[in-house]
Every structure is written in C-alpha cells, then in structure tokens.
Amino acid sequence: MEDKKSHTIYLVKTAEVEGHIYDIDNKRVQAQTYIVQKGDSLWRILKKKRLLNQSKPAELRSILRQLNKSLPNLDLIYPGQQIVIPLRITSLPPHSV
C-alpha cells in the first residue's frame, strides 16, 4: 500500500498602501502626492477621488491646509505643482488613560 502525504498551502495577499499615512486632528489620513494638471482645481481633484462625499467640507479644508502648508491659498494651484491630497480619512479611537 502506498503512503500518501498531504500538504497544506497557504496563500497570503499583502495589501499595498498607496501614499503616506498622517495623524491629523484625531484622524488617520492616507494621502498621496499629486502633480497638478492643466484645468485641475483642488476641489475637482477631490471630487474625482470621491473624497468630497466622505468628509465634511470644514474638516477636509483643515486637513488640506495641514498637508499643504506651503500653499497660501487652497483655491490657487498651478499645473506642474505638487500637492498632497488625502485619499482616505478615518477617525482614530480615543486614547484610554
């Protein structure tokens, strides 16, 4: 009688995180660098990334200011300029004391 051996194979898929992670105002922000194209506006970019539907405008504006401290005016961006845009914003759990 032939001795049969069995083997177990585990497949693991590793998630790749796009961009960088920041902690801002009790939020975890996944963000990426974006190069502004002709015809872009910051709000059009965020709409295309579907972030306007996920966040409150005041919260989003605050996060954008902190990610892009070198921009004096969020409404004035130019082609070729590098900006940091959030991809996902999640609330951090409160710290237990």
Kindly list the distances between the CA atom of residue 37 and the CA atoms of 1, 29, 42, 77, 91, in Å, as whole numbers in the listed order. Answer: 71, 23, 11, 9, 31
In this structure, what token pair is assigned to residue 64?
A: 């954008």
Predicted local distance difference test score (pLDDT) of residue 14: 44
Res 97 pLDDT > 60: no
Predicted local distance difference test score (pLDDT) of residue 18: 59
pLDDT digits (tens, 9 = 90+) for 51-88: 777 678 888 889 999 999 999 998 899 999 999 999 88
Res 96 pLDDT > 50: no
At 43, phi and psi to the nearest 5? -70, -35
Does the pTM surpass 0.85? The reply is no
pLDDT digits (tens, 9 = 90+) for 6-30: 767 666 544 444 578 999 988 999 9
